[in-house]
Amino acid sequence: VSLESQAVFSEILTSTLNDEETSEILEIFRTVGILPWLSQSANRCKSIELKPLVWHGKNEVYGLYSFKDDEIKVALTRSTGSFNQPFEWGRIERLSHVAKNATEAIQRTLVHELGHHIHGRLRSHNKLRFGLSLRSIITNGASQYGKLDVYEYFAECFVAWVYHRTEFAVYDSTGYATLSAVLKELGIEVNDLGYSNFING
């Protein structure tokens, strides 16, 4: 884990991968530019766990966030079909499926879980306004999973903000404006990774 990331993750990270492989995956946090925010004591999560499989009850899931415990878990196993899928706004099952390879899919899931963590910070700031403001717009979500409920909508919006900001502004302008305001309120500035495959005309 790089020095910068180490300061943030050393005490909270569990991984079944070796240091080099773990660093490669966690590098996404540095690329996104979230480390300064995440390293502030009020914004830290309690644990990040990378392991072959993650279970939610009896279901195998790609990732999991616990609002109660402030914990992120991400699975290191990705089946073919859970990445390298063509991106069509609102039609793709999950935004992690747009990833060009398994590593990027894992990273996108990490960003999704980070989205839940950010959402959790906002709920503690201003719970009511937030829940109500999103309920009417989740049908515009970037992925099918993002239309499931307000929580998945928010997390997928954050993934869209990081990877597909151009499309986000076009296809879900209300969500874009809402998330933009939310991130500003929380003091979060993150990079636009510009994976956009948006073609004009």
Closest distance between Zn ion and the C-beta of residue 112, in Å? 6
Is 25 or 118 the residue whose CB approaches Zn ion more closely?
Answer: 118
Is 10 or 58 the residue whose CB approaches Zn ion more closely?
Answer: 58
Closest distance between Zn ion and the C-beta of residue 59, in Å? 13
Cβ atoms within 10 Å, residue 27: 15
User: x/- contact string, 83-122, with Zn ion (CB under 5 A)?
Assistant: ----------------------------------------
C-alpha closest to that of 96 among 129, 48, 143: 143
Is 1 or 172 the residue whose CB approaches Zn ion more closely?
Answer: 172
Chain Cα centroid distance, residue 85 = 18
Closest distance between Zn ion and the C-beta of residue 67, in Å? 11
Give how many residues touch Zn ion by CB under 5 A. Answer: 2
Residues 118-157 that bind Zn ion (CB under 5 A): 152, 155
Closest distance between Zn ion and the C-beta of residue 2, in Å? 26
Cross-strand pairs, 55: 60
How many Å apart are CA 153 and CA 176, to the nearest integer?
12
How many Å apart are CA 85 and CA 101, to the nearest integer?
10
Residues 155-184 that bind Zn ion (CB under 5 A): 155
- For residue 29, which amino acid is it? F
Closest distance between Zn ion and the C-beta of residue 155, in Å? 4
Is 116 or 165 the residue whose CB approaches Zn ion more closely?
Answer: 116
Residue nearest to Zn ion (CB): 155
Cross-strand pairs, 60: 55
Is 104 or 152 the residue whose CB approaches Zn ion more closely?
Answer: 152
C-alpha closest to that of 108 among 62, 58, 172: 62
Please state whether 44 falls in left (phi above 0), alpha (psi between -120 and 50) or beta. Answer: beta
C-alpha closest to that of 158 among 170, 146, 174: 146
Which residues here bind Zn ion, judged by CB under 5 A? 152, 155
